[in-house]
Amino acid sequence: NAGVTQTPKFQVLKTGQSMTLQCAQDMNHNSMYWYRQDPGMGLRLIYYSASEGTTDKGEVPNGYNVSRLNKREFSLRLESAAPSQTSVYFCASSPGQQETQYFGPGTRLLVL
């Protein structure tokens, strides 16, 4: 039981490049989330998926897109990376939206 896994662990991009962050959970959870963590700002919700087949914007969705590929997988895409997207990205999942969230180990992204 791996919990929530994220790939890659680290990534360096140049401004304008695109990439997809992958997230998978093996706990049969309905809800999945993408957060970014920046110093002094806590965690901010980018997008979430309440259940398979649905996605919704969070607090900071601009510059990102998501895909809930199936119940297990929820990917985050940066179409044209900007230095302001340098951050640590966390994926999380929960049985339902108001229940305990379980977090992945994070992806550290640097955009030059």
Partner 1 sequence: AQSVTQLDSQVPVFEEAPVELRCNYSSSVSVYLFWYVQYPNQGLQLLLKYLSGSTLVKGINGFEAEFNKSQTSFHLRKPSVHISDTAEYFCAVSGATNFGNEKLTFGTGTRLTIIP
Binding site for partner 1 (CB under 8 A): 4, 40-45, 48, 50, 58, 90, 92, 96-98, 100-106
C-alpha neighbours within 13 Å on the C-beta side of residue 74: 34
DSSP-derived letter for residue 73 is B
Nearer to partner 1, 10 or 14 (CB): 10
Nearer to partner 1, 4 or 13 (CB): 4
CB of 52 to partner 1, least distance (A): 15
Element (H, E) at 51: none
Q: Residue 2's Cα: distance from chain center in Å?
A: 17
CB of 6 to partner 1, least distance (A): 8
Residues contacting residue 40 through CB under 8 Å, at least 6 positions apart: none
Nearer to partner 1, 3 or 16 (CB): 3
Nearer to partner 1, 14 or 28 (CB): 28
CB of 8 to partner 1, least distance (A): 15
CB of 27 to partner 1, least distance (A): 13
Peptide bond into 95 cis (omega under 30): no
